C-alpha cells in the first residue's frame, strides 16, 4: 500500500493525527537516506572488487614474467590493474642506460645493473646470463610470449605502470631510461590503490 | 553444434594469450555476440571456466576437446558477450 493510500485511509478513520503523519514522513525520509547510503557503499565495494594491484620488487626475468602474466590475465578478466615497480623491479621497465648526469656511485650501480628489460637475469641458475638465454630459447620453442610482448600487451590492455619515485631517486634512474607511459608515485599512491583492490601481490 | 558469429584461432599461443586475444576480440563486438575460440593450450580449458566464473560480462556457452587433422588435441570454447 502506498503512503498516499495509508494517509487517505487514516484521514477517513480519523485515527491518525496530523502529527503522526509528519512523523511518518520523517521516518520515510530517513529510510531513504539510509538506502542511498547503502547504495553508495555497495557501489564502492563492487568498485573495489574490480581492482588488482601488483608490486614488482624483483628484477629477475622469471619473476617479472610471472607478474606480467598475472597482470594481463587479470586485465582480460576486466579488472583494473596497476603495477608498481620498485627497487630491482625498475630494471624491468628500463629501455636503455644513460649514465650522464649521475654521481660516480650511481654510474657504477647503473653499469652493474641490466641496461634494459631485455637483459634481465633469472633468479636461479643464471650463470652470467646463460641461464636467462636458455630460458628465453625454451620459451620461444613453446611459443610463450617474451617479456617484451607481454609488456606491450599489458599497455594495450590499459594496465597502468607506476615507478617508485624514491627508488628512482636513490638509484639515480632518469626518466629517459624508462619506457614511455610510466607514471611516478610514492608509497601513498601505492596504498591508495592497494587498499581499494580485491587483490594485491608482491613479487 | 553451437552457433557462433566469430571464429578466433589462437592455436599455438600459450597462457595468458588465449584469454587476452579473446578479451580483445570481445571488446570490439556488441553484446550477444558469440565467439568460437580454438586453442591448443590445454590450460585454456580451466582458464575459460575460471574467467566465466569471475567476469560477469561474459558467458561460457560450451567447451569441447576435438582432434585436428594431425590428430593433435584442440580445445574449443564458445564465449558469449553478455
Residue B19 contacts A where some CB pair is shorter than 8 Å: yes
The H-or-E segment that residue A123 falls in is none
Cα separation, B32 vs A169, in Å, equals 50
Helical H segments across B1-76, by residue range: 17-28, 44-54
Q: With an 8 Å Cβ cutoff, are A73 and B22 in contact?
A: no
Q: What are the structural domains of chain B?
A: 6-81 (3.30.110.40)
- A83 in Cβ contact with A161 (< 8 Å): yes
Could you report the per-residue pLDDT of A122-142, keeping only the tens digit for each?
888 888 888 888 888 888 888
**Closest approach of A69 to chain B, Cα-based (Å):** 6
**Residue among A69, A75, A78 minimizing CB distance to B57:** A78
Choose the closest CB to B14 out of A73, A143, A156.
A143
Residue B82 confidence (pLDDT): 87
CA distances from A49 to A31, A53, A179, B27, B49 (A): 27, 11, 29, 20, 19
* C-alpha to C-alpha distance for B29 and B17, rounded to whole angstroms: 19
Confidence of residue A145 (pLDDT cuts 50, 70, 90): confident
Max alpha carbon distance in chain A (Å)?
94
pLDDT value of position B34:
92
- pLDDT confidence tier of residue A13, bands split at 50, 70 and 90: low
Please tell me the distance from the alpha carbon of residue A154 to that of residue A83, in angstroms, as a whole number: 10
* Site from B8, B11, B20 to mutate, A interface, most A CB atoms within 10 angstroms: B20
pTM: 0.78
pLDDT tens for chain B, residues 1 to 82 = 678 888 999 988 888 889 999 998 998 899 889 999 999 888 888 889 888 888 888 999 888 888 888 888 899 999 999 8
Catalytic residue IDs of B: 15
* pLDDT value at A17 more than 90: no
CB contact under 8 Å between A69 and B22, yes or no, is no
Dihedral sign for Cα B78, B35, A157, A145, please: positive
Task: Report the Cα A176 to chain-centroid distance in Å.
Answer: 23
Res A192: pLDDT: 86
Please give the Cα distance from A61 to A41 (Å, whole number): 40
* Contact assignment for A145 to B17 by CB distance below 8 Å: yes
Contact state of B23 with A78 under an 8 Å Cβ cutoff = yes
Position A1 scores a pLDDT of: 61
Do the Cβ atoms of A155 and A82 come closer than 8 Å? no
Residue B1 C-alpha, separation from nearest chain A C-alpha, in angstroms = 26
Q: By the CB < 8 Å criterion, does B25 face chain A?
A: no
Give the separation between CA A56 and CA A163, rounded to whole angstroms.
10
- A·B CB contacts under 8 A: 40
Q: Is the ipTM of this structure higher than 0.85? A: no
Q: Quick: pLDDT tens for A32-83.
A: 999 999 999 888 888 777 899 999 999 999 999 999 999 999 999 889 999 9
How many other C-beta atoms can be found within 10 angstroms of the C-beta atom of residue A84?
Answer: 24
Q: Which three-class secondary structure state does DSSP give residue B23?
A: helix
Cβ A75–B23 below 8 Å, yes or no? Answer: yes
Select the residue from B13, B16, B18, B58 to test the A interface by mutation, using most A Cβ atoms within 10 A: B16
Helix, strand or coil, per DSSP, at residue A126: coil
Distance separating alpha carbons of residues A144 and A137, to the nearest angstrom: 10
> To probe the interface with B, which of A52, A68, A77, A80 has the most B CB atoms within 10 Å?
A77
Average pLDDT, chain A: 87
Amino acid at each position: 500500500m502506498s503512503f498516499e493510500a495509508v494517509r487517505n485511509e487514516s484521514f477517513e478513520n480519523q485515527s491518525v493525527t496530523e502529527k503522526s503523519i509528519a512523523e511518518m514522513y520523517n521516518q520515510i525520509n530517513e529510510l531513504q537516506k539510509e538506502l542511498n547510503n547503502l547504495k553508495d557503499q555497495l557501489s564502492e565495494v563492487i568498485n573495489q572488487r574490480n581492482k588488482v594491484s601488483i608490486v614488482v620488487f624483483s628484477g629477475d626475468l622469471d619473476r617479472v614474467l610471472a607478474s606480467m602474466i598475472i597482470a594481463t590475465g587479470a586485465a582480460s578478466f576486466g579488472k583494473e590493474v596497476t603495477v608498481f615497480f620498485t627497487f630491482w623491479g625498475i630494471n624491468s621497465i628500463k629501455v636503455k642506460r644513460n649514465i650522464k648526469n649521475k654521481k660516480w656511485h650511481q654510474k657504477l650501480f647503473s653499469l652493474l645493473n641490466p641496461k634494459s628489460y631485455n637483459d634481465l637475469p633469472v633468479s636461479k641458475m643464471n650463470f652470467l646470463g646463460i641461464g636467462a638465454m636458455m630460458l628465453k630459447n625454451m620459451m620461444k620453442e613453446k611459443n610463450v610470449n617474451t617479456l617484451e610482448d607481454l609488456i606491450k600487451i599489458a599497455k594495450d590492455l590499459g594496465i597502468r605502470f607506476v615507478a617508485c619515485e624514491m627508488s628512482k631517486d636513490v638509484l639515480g634512474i632518469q626518466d629517459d631510461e624508462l619506457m614511455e607511459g610510466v607514471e611516478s608515485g610514492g608509497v601513498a599512491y601505492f596504498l591508495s590503490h592497494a587498499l581499494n583492490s580485491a587483490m594485491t601481490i608482491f613479487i | 553444434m553451437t552457433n557462433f558469429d566469430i571464429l578466433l584461432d589462437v592455436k599455438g599461443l600459450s597462457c595468458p594469450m588465449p584469454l587476452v586475444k579473446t578479451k580483445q576480440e570481445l571488446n570490439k563486438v556488441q553484446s550477444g555476440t558469440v565467439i568460437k575460440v580454438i586453442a591448443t593450450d590445454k590450460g585454456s580449458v580451466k582458464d575459460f571456466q575460471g574467467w566465466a566464473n569471475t567476469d560477469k560480462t561474459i558467458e561460457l556457452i560450451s567447451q569441447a576437446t576435438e582432434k585436428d587433422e594431425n590428430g593433435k588435441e584442440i580445445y574449443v570454447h564458445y564465449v558469449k558477450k553478455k
